Amino acid sequence: MAIHPIEFRYGTPEMKNIWESENKLQKKLDVESALAQAEAELNILPKNIADEISSKANTKYVTLERVNEIESQTKHDIAALTKGLAEQCEGEAGEYVHFGATSNDIVDSSNSLLIKDSIEVLENKLKKLTEILLKLTEEKRDLVTIGRTHGQHALPTTYGMKFGIWADEMHRQYDRLLNAKKNVCVGMMDGAVGTTAALGEDGWEIHKKTSKILGLTPATITNQVVQRDNHVEFIMVLANIATTMDKIGVEIRSLQRTEIMEVGEFFDPKKQVGSSTMPHKMNPITAERICGISRIIRSYVVAAMENNPLWHERDLTNSSCERIMFPEACILTDYILNLGIKLLSNLEFHEDNIEKNLNLTNGLIMAERLMAELTRKGMGKLTAYGIVRKCAIQAKEENELLSDLILADKDASKYLSKKDVKEIMNPHTYLGSSTIIINELLESSKNWF
């Protein structure tokens, strides 16, 4: 019976397959195989022994069912793994399975393989999402909208600026993920306290060769574990990605509110239902799901950080936590990236509402421009600010046009003509360097990936 929503509701097949129990077992067997091959290269094991171990280090022979059966007796997962592998090996090869290793050599190296595969999936999703955002940036470069600060109308901006900011941030997240990949995807084969003592004088070379065979960078120095600051970095990057996704989701949800309704997620009225009791509802469920799940991903940061200060050369408190944290953080981050791709690929724009909201305040959003133009014409900046502020407050309180009040002001009218004010009050022409900013962003994005 399924219990966790990841089992039936959240996640993509490609990421779930990475963390599926049989694949995790295979990755551990891959480490055992690499260890045997490294030992054969240094003549610690005969080549035929290493080849036999490698040939049987496969879930075709070492089944998940058998390993679980052994673990139910041994109460130790790696002991069960090594026994399951050993009993499949012919001749005396089984006697040499896991020679010189400690359990966490297998666990940490196999986790690195799983994380590496997960990061490659996430890389592709981040690239795709960034490309969608860049396309929206270009398409909506000149779609003028009201910018809001503190939830209130501020100055005109463009949807190109909104999407460009998100694209740039997503690219930074991509770079952070690559850096985390370099640090967290490391191999180790260092024994019980990191000294490689059981492997003798060739121990450090075994460590390096095993990592190389696995396609991992050998850890520089360990005790019984790869130090968890690497894993903290990885989880923090996933949390950071989730926060960017949350940011996007929050903005789209806000812009889809009934009283704003500028942008919204696609809703299929022929099939989709918004409420079990309110037939008219069309809710932003995709964006809301992104926001909700991002909270779970961020919550893993504390757990990851607490896994770093272990007792002495290590204790076991990180292990149970990571069995949950690693797969869930990867699966859920991949899932919300997938939702983001779906959401942003099918946005609906309500341009009539965008224009209506832009002009909602009877010109108050052009107050800054009025002040700046009065100053350019020769009025002192503080004086200009005071006049425009007085007129803006009156316009708001009495529901009048700011432009009419400015023209009626005896001091302001000395500097600005009716034609000047008409030009100043056009929000579509007060966009500063936004076009230049977007064009430079789009040009630089050609070298991002």
From 150, 276, 280, 433, active-site residue:
150
Residues in the chain: 449
Of 85, 116, 103, nearest to 18 by C-alpha is: 116
Considering 4, 21, 76, 275, which one is annotated as catalytic? 275
* Rounded distance between C-alpha atoms, residue 257 and residue 353, angstroms: 12
Reference 187, options 159, 209, 166; nearest CA is 209
**CB-based contacts of 13, cutoff 8 Å, min separation 6:** none
Give the count of alpha carbons within 13 A of 427, CB side only: 25
Q: Which phi and psi (to 5°) does residue 149 adopt?
A: -125, 140
Contact 448, 170 (CB under 8 A): no
Q: Is 231 among the catalytic positions?
A: no
Q: What are phi and psi of 188, to 5 degrees?
A: -145, 145
Cα dihedral 231, 237, 240, 244 in deg (nearest 10): -150
* Cα–Cα distance list, 71 to 82, 109, 115, 312 (Å): 11, 20, 24, 27
Rounded to a whole number of angstroms, the CA Rg of the chain reads 30
Tell how strand 186-187 and strand 217-218 pair up: parallel
Q: Which two tokens stand for residue 101?
A: 């290793």
* 36: nearest Cα among 111, 87, 86: 86
Please say if 275 is a catalytic residue. yes
- Which residues are catalytic, by number? 150, 275
